[in-house]
Amino acid sequence: MKLPELIVNCIRHATANVFSTMLGVEVRQGEVRTENGAPDANDGVVSLIGLAGTWTGAGSISCSPALACRICSVLLMTENTAVDEDVLDAVAELTNMIIGSVKTDLEEHLGPLGLSIPTVVFGRNFRTRSAANADWMVVPFDWDGEILQVRLCLTRTERDTRSHLQMASHACTVDV
């Protein structure tokens, strides 16, 4: 199996599993695409997490503020109507679980990978860019008409693991 196909399979499995286990909902996967260079501007919530090892890169989850609030409400059994600390924390943890599961599945094929702590951004008209210089696999999921996008990019490296663990937490930059 080629790496892009493997990544998409891992994202599909991890996202479906996290949503069904933690939120009790089924999400429908949309059409997979590849992004290279500057991605479209974002409006909403983006959560980023670094990956490091013999492969390095980043994973992210992005969604609208409304979907972020809904995720938090279901996850914590609370009423969330605006993006606050709880909502950002819930999206960060969802990212940690999804990309963490993807990482664990990929390790069977790619060897040990490290995972950084998630960073969440909320705002309007901002762009995220990875220094990893690799294509992003973008897998959209539909939850009752609201779209959540899971992205992952990975590139092979020959540098030692320790230096990449330091790099991974700074792999993504945000342009506002």
Residues that bind another protein (CB under 8 A): 17-18, 21-22, 72, 75-77, 85-86, 89-90, 92-93, 96-97, 100-101, 103-104, 107, 112-113, 115, 117
What's the full length of the chain, in residues? 176
DSSP notation for 14-51:
HHHHHIIIII----EE---EEE-SSPPPEEEEEEEEEE
Pairing of strands 136-143, 146-156: antiparallel
The distance of closest approach from Cβ of residue 46 to another protein in the complex, given in angstroms and rounded to an integer, is: 17
CB nearer another protein, residue 22 or residue 167: 22
CB-nearer residue toward another protein: 83 or 90:
90
Instruction: Write down the least CB distance from residue 16 to another protein, Å.
Output: 11
* Minimum CB distance to another protein smaller for 39 or for 67: 67
Indicate the residue among 165 and 172 with the shorter CB distance to another protein. Answer: 165
The CA distance from 68 to 91, in Å, is 7
Least separation in angstroms between residue 41's CB and another protein is: 27
29/141 Cα distance (integer angstroms): 4
Instruction: Give the C-alpha separation, 78 to 20, whole Å.
Output: 18
Q: How far is the CB of 18 from another protein (least distance, A)?
A: 5
